[in-house]
Structure 1
């Protein structure tokens, strides 16, 4: 693997210690481009190895002997930021490279104390980074590598002003890298205005090592019955479902109703304390809860193995959002299912949306505590669909 051989001996040794034998397609493409110092816009599916694709070049290019912060990774959520920090800490253990998280919801004073020690790499969320820059505690002119993870979210209209301010405060010769599972033309144009001759990298699901078979399905349901359906799903054997809703209010309402009914669910949203979010994720990972209900932002970049179902409680607002959410299941050769809870008012829009999928979506119903193909008219007297 030529791009691993081009890294310093310390990182080659770390690679061997991890037990990895193959580079993922995005890593093969991105590592040499980043090591060369090029600006990059990279698109690759969820779970395809993007984090390591930028972490290895950063480690190669920073100099821990220099007493300043040389690289910054920005992510839209606290969870994704901490996942990146944890990966970095694994790789930098026993080296002089230092890493500090700068995320909202954490103790500011503790972060300031760590910043005084001039960490080599910082990882943070836009709000906290902006706050620290404005108070002149974080010096952006020292940063020469900047990575925007989940860049489509970071460069969306609501964050764009803050992101442009942060980018423009870095030194002119800095390297800017944007990675995401989906990149729209608009995001690409915005990124290119801030970059110098960016290299465009693209990996599709077909380019990845064998993935599991993913079934796309929908179940017709009254809006008011969606909560009951989630409760039924939470009691289905072997289910580990990530359920997406479009608003924080809906998460809170469903949490209140489902916990009252003793459903095996957890929630993830922006108003939770750090310890609460950690417990929700730990319970879901261990299987103590079967359904994790989250908003798009709260679930960005979450790395959870063996998700059996992605549930769109609300129909996604775009095909990009649908695919991004859906990429959480069917990983590492395991099969998965993407289930949309389809209210009657959304049928027309949903049909238009799924025309862009390679396979037809299957209609299902909940029968006898199981999801089965068919509709209410296709159940026989024996309780099986014809």
Structure 2
């Protein structure tokens, strides 16, 4: 952890108080590069410590006495930007560094009032940042450090134009840092066109200090029975499951059915208001409910401790999506399980991309209120023998 010695005493002390015994691989690689002012493209899995890998160098390099926005962090979702702001606020407590969040779905007037006070760091989503820049309420020319978190999503078609405009409005000497769990062709293009000799960093799942063990499993279930299966899973003792559905209509339909069936479940999706999202997340974090069902918006940046299960209600469309979602469990050395509700029509697709996993997925069933290994046929056979 040689980089810790390069930080100011204040940040060294905070690092010590945070109780980190070791740094994550991405932090070891990225912090010295950022402190040196280099442009960076960094690839590292979900839950591997990327946020702190850019937050610490930003804190070291900004000057809180200067009345200007010096660093901007862009995130694709409201949830992720809120997580980043929480990390920043935790680390800047008791310092003069100020942080403002600029996201859609929140009160614009309040954000404008905060912008007038010239915060040191802003964190925002592309739509709101673009709106503020276009109306000249947010000036990009003073920004010295620009970080794009989950860059593959920011460079996807829906945000690409906005992002290029934002980047091009910053000063030419600024530092541009892009982090992601997967590096796509779009990211390569950004690196070529908008960065000065970027440093490429890559951390793979094998590089991570995985003390815990993540198991991959599946339950065979008819498509029409998946909602009832979720209800059963929500009653398993000790369950803290993050369940993913591929589209919003399916999620809303399942939510309505489950509310009538006494399921210990909440939902999270893009059409919810900020306070509704917060209420759902709080209930899940506190263990008041056992399963949080979400669309892809929650796959990124949602920092929830001790998730025991990631449940793929629908089989993800790509290996990357499967890995992104699955990264929400087994974090920081804890064990976890990735459970797929597998309909007959998805079996071939599922088998194709789970070939890449370190261990073969096992079949499971719910029996006697528990999730156990085996198929419904083997369990029935055991019962008959008795």
Normalising by structure 1, report the TM-score: 0.96
Paired residue for 1:81? Answer: 81
| Equivalent residues in 2 for 1:68-217, closer than 5 Å | 68-217=68-217
DSSP 3-state at the match of 2:17: helix
Q: Is 1:359 paired with 2:359?
A: yes
* Structure 1 unpaired stretches of 5+: none
How far 1:342 moved relative to its partner?
A: 1.2
Contact map agreement 1:372 1:385 (CA 8 A) in 2: no
> What is the Cα deviation at residue 238 of structure 1?
0.6
More displaced stretch, 374-383 vs 176-185: 374-383
After superposition, what is the alpha-carbon deviation per residue over 1:167-209, rounded to whole angstroms, capped at 9, x for unaligned? Answer: 1111111111111222234433344332221111111222222
Residue of structure 2 in register with 1:244 after alignment:
244
Aligned residue number for residue 324 of structure 2 = 324
- In 1, Cα distance between equivalents of 2:278 and 2:87: 17
Offset of 1:94 from its aligned partner?
1.9
The equivalent residue for 1:38 is 38
TM-score by length of 2: 0.96
Task: Report the equivalent of 1:282.
Answer: 282
Question: What CA deviation, in whole Å up to 9, does each residue of 1:32-76 have, x standing for no partner?
Answer: 100111111111122221111100100111112221101000111
Secondary structure at the aligned position of 2:141 is classed as helix
CA distance in 1, matches of 2:319, 2:50: 21
Contact 1:145 1:175 in 2 (8 A): yes
2: CA distance, partners of 1:335 / 1:96:
39
- In 1, Cα distance between the equivalents of 2:233 and 2:277? 22
Q: State the alpha-carbon separation in 2 of the partners of residues 317 and 239 from structure 1.
A: 25
Residues 312 and 341, structure 2, Cα contact 8 Å, conserved in 1: yes
Q: In 1, are the aligned partners of 2:156 and 2:186 still within 8 Å (CA)? A: no
Q: More displaced, 351-360 or 274-283?
A: 351-360
Provide closer, same or farther for how the CA distance between residues 9 and 362 of structure 1 changes in structure 2, counting only shifts above 3 A: same
The number of residue pairs the alignment matches comes to 386
Superposed CA offset, 1:228-251 (max 9, x none): 100000000110000011111111
Q: Map 1:272-351 onto structure 2 (within 5 A).
A: 272-351=272-351
Report runs of 4+ in structure 1 exceeding 4 Å deviation: none
* Correspondence 1:6-21 to 2 at 5 A: 6-21=6-21
Q: Secondary structure at the match of 2:136?
A: coil
* Distance across 2 between alignment mates of 1:18 and 1:213: 25
Q: Distance in 1 between matches of 2:318 and 2:218?
A: 16
- Pick which of 14-23 and 97-106 moved more: 14-23
The secondary structure found in structure 1 opposite 2:209 is coil
Deviation per residue, 1:116-150 (Å, 9 max, x gap): 11111000111111111111100011111111111
Q: Per the alignment, in what secondary structure is the counterpart of residue 297 of structure 1?
A: helix
In structure 2, the residue matched to 1:263 is: 263
In the alignment, the residues of structure 1 paired with residue 15 and residue 372 of structure 2 have an alpha-carbon distance, to the nearest angstrom, of 45
Deviation at 1:380, TM superposition (A): 4.0
Contact 2:300/2:324 (<8 A) preserved: no
The whole-number CA distance in structure 1 between the counterparts of 2:88 and 2:261 is 41
